[in-house]
Every structure is written in structure tokens, then in C-alpha cells.
Structure 1
Amino acid sequence: MQELIPVTLVVGFLGSGKTTFINEILNGDHGKKIAVIENEFGEVGIDDEILSGSNDLFVEMSNGCICCSIKGDLVESLNKLLVHAKNFEHIVIEATGMANPGPIIETFFSSEELSRSFVLDSVIGLVDSEHFEKNLEKFENSEEIAFYDQIAFSETILLNKSDTRTSEELTSIREKVKVKNPNAQIISTTHSKVDLSKVMGTRSFDLKAIEETMPSANAVEYPFSWAGVIELKAGFYKFNIDHTHHNERMVFFKIDEDDLNDKIINYANSLFFSPQRRAKRGANVNVDEHILLDFGGEHTGRNILDIEFDGNYAFFISDHPSHLQLKILNREENEIEFKTDHSFKKVEHFHGNEINSISLEFSGALNPQSFEMFLNVLYSQYRDEIYRSKGILHFYGNDSRVLFQGVYSSLKFDHGREWADEQRINKIVFIGKGLIGPSLEAGLKNCIVE
């Protein structure tokens, strides 16, 4: 069986330093024989007279690397490279500046022809640290410019021009990048200089490497900060907030249980994404509604809870009751205490068209058929808006870890090492546009064998 040739995809735009990085490969003293497929060929220092006479061009550089300008689609280009230039150990593909790299990556996942000779090794994204905020403001919500798409698909991100920023500013940029791609290796660089052994030859798209690249913490974020369960008799109650600086969002509804569970949390989450009803100070608020408490700019608010039936009620609120100085009072002005309560990691802001990442960890053996159905429904719902997925799974009846990763709906599965004497934890990451963490979590937990 022939050894597969590793391929690295390089993305970056708007002065990120991508061309400098490519030039460093073509001219640097790194001891590697690398073939570079250039899109912006005229920027890498090749003589214009050499460029003018050919559709397909192969130029050998002084350090043994090969610079190529090849017309045609990706599969055709790589096959031409195999024919024309055989003395190389790695291929680097430069994506066009504004390009979403997703379709190129998916080609490596889905093309049987490519998989016979090539393997996607890594995706390197260069980010202009100096103008990060300006680019973010300008392109974050653009449908045409793939600013965050490039970040979402990159396994390694070079924060270039890091010498122009303070350490505090670089930390802030790192945190913003991590929200979009928690898996990425982030390296600060100047003049695009980096040890190539740290970013190439990493086999970061190899299924066997997934266990080393999974985030370690559950990162589901909710649209609420706090929830509590309280027992109420039928009647009217005062819902008092004595300290707030803005309008608050809340939902509440009757439950049969004494405490919260996944089903209750998922229902609350769905209500928070339903249309709001604005309730001004003094207005009645009812069960099963997404309520926006509008206090008209005041720091205190009084509303009336209309309770029709005796029982337990779950309240989900956008801020914590201790901060709001929240009290629920009966007719005798006695405070009713919550029986149980839970805090949640609240998403800072959510817009349905933003790229975000969801990281999940949970125990329980998954039914393989149920998991397959979950993925089918998921990709049908989101279509091409789930960019990346990867995970370590505990399948029912399987003593080995099941590893998977995907680009869009192209998925690969493999067996990992056997489970030792340890708790078998499922770890899954999704990166995409407008992903709702609690809904994904609920769907996955529905796959657990009871």
C-alpha cells in the first residue's frame, strides 16, 4: 500500500500574512521538500515572464520546493502535480483570500479518488491581529466574506502581527477565536514565522488524533442564567424585582417533578426562542410564555403571577435572583421560597446567523441506530450550516471508543482504543452557524439506551 501524501490547506485574507507564510515555505531554510499550489501566484516572487506563457506551471525553487499554478478543479490539480513533480513530501494548497475552506476540506472527506493518494493533514488559518476588531466589525455577519468560516475550519490559527498588540489584547483575541473554534491550536506569530513541524505533519484530521484535540469541558450555553422550582397554590402572587439595570427575560410553567431534568430544561430553552410578550410593570404574567419584563427604564419592577392550578412551577430567568433581589409574595405578603435551584452558563449574546461552537460531555451508552437518526435529522435541519463535528462516543455493546469527525454532512467513523476501567464519557463538538446547545444536548441524550 502506497504512503499517502499529506496535504495542508492555508487560508487567510486582508493582510493576514498568508503570502508571507507561503513565501517562507518556498524560500526558507527548513529542509523540507514541499509543493505549493498557489492561487495568487504573482505575489510569491516568481518572475512575471515565467508566469506569462503557461496555463499549468511548475517552478522549482532554490530550496527544493515546488511552486505550482494549475488550472482546473482540486482533484485534477493534485493528480497533475503527481505526474509533473514527484520529489516532494508534503503539499500546501493556498485558498483564495475570501474563500470559505469548507468545500475544499469536504472534498478530501468525500472523494475516493483523492483518498487513494492524499490525506488532509492540517488547515492553517492566518489572522491579522493588528486589525482583528476592525475586520470583525466589518465582516462578522457578511454572507460573502468568510472571516469566521476560515477560523471555524482551521486546526491551527496563527495570530500574526502579534508584536503590534499587548498581551492583554492578544488574550482577548484568543478568547474570541476560541468561542468560534474551541479545538484550534492558537500560535502568536510575527512576520508569519513559525516552526513548520508544529503546524504541518500533525495529522490533525486523523481520527486517531481526536482524543488529543477534544475540549475537556462541557461548554453548553443557555439563554437563561438561573432556574428554580417553587410550589404554588392557585391564585395571584406578586413577582417583585428590586434591582435591575435592563429588561429581564423569563419563562415559567407547571411541572410534575420536584426538581429540574433535561426534558424541563429543553422545554424552557425552546420557550426562550419563541416570540416574546412584553409585560410592563404591574401587568399579569402567565405560564408557558416567553416574557420580556419591561420596567420602563426603572430599576425595580412589580408584576402579578396568575396561577391557575396547585403544583410545582419551574422558573427560568435571564439573571440570577440574588442580583435581581427577586421575591415571590403571597396575598399576606409572605415570601415563598424556592425548593431547588440551578445556575447555568449563559450565552453572552445570540444571533441566529452567528458562527458558534457547542462542546458536550455526558455519560450513557448511545444506541448506534438512534445516533445515526439523530445525525440525519440534524443535517437535514441545519443543511450546510454545521461546518465541523468530531467526537468520542460510547456505543452500546461496543467495548472500544467510537471516533467520528465530519465536514458538513460528510462523516468518517473509526474504532479507537478499548475502554479501560473508567467512566465511559461521550465527548462531542459541533461548530456551525446558529447552533442551539441545549437542543443538541437533548437530541443526543435521547439516543442513550435506558
Structure 2
Amino acid sequence: MAPAKIPVTIVTGFLGAGKTTLVNHLLAQCSDTYIGIIVNEFGEVGIDGQLIVADDQPLIEITNGCVCCTVRKDLTAAVNELLQRAERPIERLIIETSGLADPAPVLQSFLADADLLQRVELEAVITVADAHHILLHIGEDIVREQIAFADVIVLNKVEIPSARELEQLERELRRLNPAAHLVRTERAQVSAAELLGTKRFSLPHVLSIEPDLLDDEAHDHEHDTSIGSCCMETDGAIDPEQFSRWMNQLVQREGARLMRTKGVLHFNGEARQFHCHSVHMLLDARPGRRWRPDEPRRSKLVFIGRELAGDALREGFLGCLVVQPERAPAPATESETEHP
């Protein structure tokens, strides 16, 4: 008898929708299940791998590209690596895509790999939709693709819009995808039993949306070239008041262009990480886990948006570093010493 295939859940959704928060909620509810996790990020600096609370679960982070285009081969390689290096048989896979990923080529990466399909089975595509911001981006092809391919739509941040706005939004989502199971959430809190364990993925349904899905040459996906990322890292401690002032001013001034900001920061004198998130002008910041004794206290900050002024962002970020105490003057040489 052939071994049971490993169910795969793909979590997608536009920038800042709440994908990582959802994955963390699912992992917390499935602590007895050995889950392999793959996280893909658009920029070259990885943040989400640190934000996911994986504990002893195996995790691989794919950076500096998007699994729907430039690093598609890395996705299948990452799945195979997880299956090989796991300490015990993996019971489930969760893949969190970049916020700019087109689901079709991601699905194709699995469906076109006959060897991989002997071991894994696509269970569902979950799309997280930001109830506060998604109508700003609903005209963009990538957002519409993410919604159309969803087996489940997690409508997140429903506490922000009015009841009328939510009804309008749900009508628009239903127009794009009338078949998806829709769940309303705040802070992506949803029962794992509602999202995991039910096979919702249907290849005939997907092919009705994308008839050439299995044609490898038909999916040379390209991103909107006006969208880019700016990533920065530093080992220096950050002044929390200066950083808070700078970030608040930045999102107020540049929020329309700053589609997504996320960071893991080392605040001066703090034993815990500090996590910073923003979507346009909506800013959220809170303490994270404690730094481990053997862990470098390195701050990382990533901006994703349109026509970013990278040099100005880096200058502003580095301006939040704690000013180092001035060194004591070097001992005077004999020729500089004043003799009585």
C-alpha cells in the first residue's frame, strides 16, 4: 500500500494582508503535528522566517525573488530538502508566498513535477484579503489572480471597515470567486479545523480559470516594475523613541507609496525583539520574543512599495541608531604634553 501523500496548503495574499499572522495561528493550534514550512519573500533580506513561531518545526526561507517567477525551481527544491532533512516524517506542508506572487505558476510548480506529486498533494489555496486596503488594489492583476485561485478567502481586519463597506467588499470578492469558502477574521484568528484537513483544491476548477496552467511556457510572470523593495540591516542598537518618531512621520508622508513595511528590531537595552509592520498608513508595532543568548542582535527592516527613495530610507533608518559614547581622548604624546 502506497504511503499517504502529504497535504500542502498554500497561503497567499497581497502585501500586508496578514499571511504570517495566519500561519502563526495555525501552527499554534497544530503543535502536535509535524509541519514543514516554506516562506518566500520578495526582497533579499528575510524577515518572515524570524516572525514565524515555528519552534521545532522545519522551516526554509526563500529570499531575493518570488516563487511564481525567478525562484520557481527553488520552491520544489525547498520542498524536497524539507522532506529529506526532517527529523521525522512531515505530516503537512504550509507554503507562504510573497505578497506579489501569482498563484498559477506556484501551483504549476507542483503539478508539473511528477516525482513530487508522488509524495505531496495540494489540499487548498488560502488567500488572505485585507478588508481595510484590498479595494485600493483590486484593479491590479496580481490581486485578482490571488482571489480567483483561492479555495478559501480569509477576509482579515474586518473590524476596521463599516458593515456597509464589508458588504460591498464581499460582493466584489464573490464576483471574482463565487465558489471560495469565505471566512471573516480579526488579526487572522481562525480555527485551524476550518482551514486544514479538508481537500478543497480542484484541478478542473483551476483549469477553467487558467486553461494553459500546465503549459510551462505560458507562465513567464513579470511583476509591476514600479514596485520594488528596499532592505537594510544593522548590528547597532536602535533608539526606540527616535525610531517611533521617524516611522510615524514616514507612513504619514509616504504611506500611499509604502505598500508594506516589516522589521525585526533591536531596541537599546531591550531583552526582547521588537516587531514593526505597516500597510500604507496603518502602522502596528509590538514586542516579540526574547533574543536568544547566542543570537546576534541584528535589526532588519524591509520596505516594499512604488518608486522608493532607497537612500533616504536608509539614511532615516540609520539615523535612529543610538549615538555611541565618544571615546576617551588618546594619551598625549610626549611632544604634545605641556610640561610645567
Q: TM-score, normalised by structure 2?
A: 0.53
Paired residue type of 1:389: S
* Residues 1:43 and 1:27: Cα distance change in structure 2 (over 3 Å): farther
Task: State the match for 2:208 in structure 1.
Answer: 389
* Residues 1:206 and 1:101: Cα distance change in structure 2 (over 3 Å): closer
Paired residue type of 1:34: I
* Residues 1:75 and 1:133: Cα distance change in structure 2 (over 3 Å): closer
Equivalence map 1:14-163=2 (5 Å): 14-28=15-29, 30-40=31-41, 42-44=46-48, 46=50, 61-62=54-55, 64-69=56-61, 72-85=73-86, 86-136=88-138, 140=139, 142=140, 146-163=142-159
Aligned to 2:8, what secondary structure does the other structure show? strand
Distance apart, 1:169 and its partner CA: 2.1
1:38-95 Cα deviation digits (max 9, x unpaired): 1138434639xxxxxxxxxxx9943x43322258522222111111014421101111
Paired residue type of 2:180: A
Within the alignment, does 1:168 sit opposite 2:164 as a pair?
Answer: yes
Paired residue type of 1:95: T
Identify which of 408, 413, 429 aligns with 2:212: 408
Distance apart, 1:135 and its partner CA: 2.3
* Residues 1:147 and 1:61: Cα distance change in structure 2 (over 3 Å): closer
Equivalence map 1:38-437=2 (5 Å): 38-40=39-41, 42-44=46-48, 46=50, 61-62=54-55, 64-69=56-61, 72-85=73-86, 86-136=88-138, 140=139, 142=140, 146-205=142-201, 388-389=207-208, 408-410=212-214
Report if aligned partners of 1:102, 1:407 keep a CA contact under 8 Å in 2.
no
Measure the CA separation in 2 of the matches of 1:197 and 1:407. Answer: 31
Report if aligned partners of 1:26, 1:66 keep a CA contact under 8 Å in 2.
no
Moved over 6 A (4+): none
Paired residue type of 1:10: V
Q: TM-score, normalised by structure 1?
A: 0.41
Structure 2 gaps of 5+ residues are 63-70, 216-340
Report if aligned partners of 1:106, 1:408 keep a CA contact under 8 Å in 2.
no
Distance apart, 1:34 and its partner CA: 1.5
Paired residue type of 2:150: S
Paired residue type of 2:214: S
Within the alignment, does 1:4 sit opposite 2:5 as a pair?
Answer: yes
Distance apart, 1:201 and its partner CA: 1.9
Report if aligned partners of 2:58, 2:82 keep a CA contact under 8 Å in 1.
no
Report if aligned partners of 2:105, 2:213 keep a CA contact under 8 Å in 1.
no
* Residues 1:193 and 1:43: Cα distance change in structure 2 (over 3 Å): farther
Distance apart, 1:28 and its partner CA: 4.9
Between the two proteins, the alignment pairs up a number of residues equal to 201
Aligned to 2:76, what secondary structure does the other structure show? helix
Task: State the match for 2:318 in structure 1.
Answer: none
Report if aligned partners of 2:12, 2:146 keep a CA contact under 8 Å in 1.
yes
Measure the CA separation in 2 of the matches of 1:8 and 1:199. Answer: 9
Structure 1 gaps of 5+ residues are 48-58, 215-386, 391-405, 412-450
Distance apart, 1:133 and its partner CA: 2.2
Aligned to 1:73, what secondary structure does the other structure show? helix
Measure the CA separation in 2 of the matches of 1:111 and 1:100. Answer: 18
Report if aligned partners of 1:106, 1:407 keep a CA contact under 8 Å in 2.
no
* Residues 1:129 and 1:60: Cα distance change in structure 2 (over 3 Å): closer
Measure the CA separation in 2 of the matches of 1:131 and 1:43. Answer: 22
Distance apart, 1:11 and its partner CA: 0.6
Measure the CA separation in 2 of the matches of 1:118 and 1:153. Answer: 19
Measure the CA separation in 2 of the matches of 1:163 and 1:113. Answer: 44
Aligned to 1:80, what secondary structure does the other structure show? helix
Identify which of structures 1 and 2 has the higher relative contact order when contacts are C-alpha pairs closer than 8 Å and 6+ apart. 2
Measure the CA separation in 1 of the matches of 2:195 and 2:30. Answer: 16
Measure the CA separation in 2 of the matches of 1:24 and 1:66. Answer: 17
Identity of aligned residues (%): 31
Report if aligned partners of 2:132, 2:161 keep a CA contact under 8 Å in 1.
yes
Measure the CA separation in 1 of the matches of 2:53 and 2:135. Answer: 39
Report if aligned partners of 2:129, 2:154 keep a CA contact under 8 Å in 1.
yes
Compare the two structures and name the one with the higher helix fraction: 2
* Residues 1:409 and 1:23: Cα distance change in structure 2 (over 3 Å): closer
Report if aligned partners of 2:131, 2:157 keep a CA contact under 8 Å in 1.
yes
